[in-house]
Structure 1
Amino acid sequence: MRIWLIIGALNGFLAVALGAFAAHGLRGSVPEADLTIFNTGAHYHLVHAVALVVVALVGLNAKGWPAKAAGILFLIGIVLFSGSLYFLGITGSRALVMITPVGGVAFLLGWLSLAMAGLRLKPTSN
């Protein structure tokens, strides 16, 4: 599960870097609507980078496939959902908009998989 911590941390770095790029490099260079779309991609990217770190932590104690599936689905969601919004925000092209919802579905399935992983956690006594 260490790999999900590394992937999550690197994606957190990338999401913050892309958010800064939007704020300082794109503002004034692209239409405001496209900048908003780009920022939506960065927001979802950062949220799911944190989710990948949670996957790493949950995966330490959860048995079976759900935690790993959640990580894979979150990563697919980042690439498809956030990636397509980044592309649209920078280029103004809607060529990839059909994959955006696929990324959104991957995010949703990732959250369900993470919930299933939570159900497999061993209860702790306090």
Structure 2
Amino acid sequence: MQKTFLIWGAVYGALAVVLGAFAAHALKRIADEATVNVFHTGVEYQFYHAFALLAVGILFGSFPSAWMIRSGWCFVIGTILFSGSLYALTALKINGGSIGVAGVLTPVGGLFFIAGWVCLVLGLLRK
């Protein structure tokens, strides 16, 4: 299981670099500053949780438990929901669409992040 989270963390990290470069170069030309800031928040939290997934993958070797596995999956899902919804909101705003369900997913993703950190603490305390 630890390899799974290491892979997710590495993929999320690589994608965050690509998306950050896109925001710095191309997005600034087609979106206003507030929209770019929303996108940047998605990239920032994706980076944070890429590192969190790498940590879970490494820590699992010393602290193997269901709590660590739950932590990793909460970070994976939280990143998809939180950062993904912010990317979707950015695309909708640029194209003049309505926010729709994307706006609801952001706080749900945030709850998954919180749950992931709580599960990580519990996983560390279980040994």
TM over 0.5: yes
Q: Within 5 Å, which residues of 2 pair with 1:93-112?
A: 93-95=98-100, 96-112=102-118
State how many pairs are aligned: 121
Long gaps (5+) in structure 2: none
Structure 2 distance, partners of 1:48, 1:83, is 13
Structure 2 distance, partners of 1:117, 1:34, is 37
SS of structure 2 residue aligned to 1:27: helix
Partners of 1:34 and 1:90 within 8 A in 2: no
The equivalent residue for 2:8 is 7
Structure 2 distance, partners of 1:63, 1:30, is 45
Long gaps (5+) in structure 1: 122-126
The equivalent residue for 1:118 is 124
Which aligned runs of 4 or more in structure 1 are off by greater than 6 angstroms? none
Q: Within 5 Å, which residues of 2 pair with 1:9-48?
A: 9-48=10-49
Q: CA deviation at 1:75?
A: 0.7
Q: CA deviation at 1:3?
A: 1.2
Q: Percent identity?
A: 42
SS of structure 1 residue aligned to 2:52: helix
Structure 2 distance, partners of 1:31, 1:79, is 24
TM value normalised by structure 2: 0.91
Partners of 1:58 and 1:117 within 8 A in 2: no
TM value normalised by structure 1: 0.92
Q: CA deviation at 1:91?
A: 2.3
The one-letter amino acid of 1:120's match is R
Structure 1 distance, partners of 2:63, 2:44, is 28
The equivalent residue for 2:73 is 72
**Which piece of structure 1 moves more, 101-110 or 55-64?**
55-64
The one-letter amino acid of 2:123's match is A
Q: CA deviation at 1:19?
A: 0.7
SS of structure 1 residue aligned to 2:30: coil
Q: CA deviation at 1:63?
A: 3.0
The equivalent residue for 2:83 is 82
Partners of 1:67 and 1:113 within 8 A in 2: yes
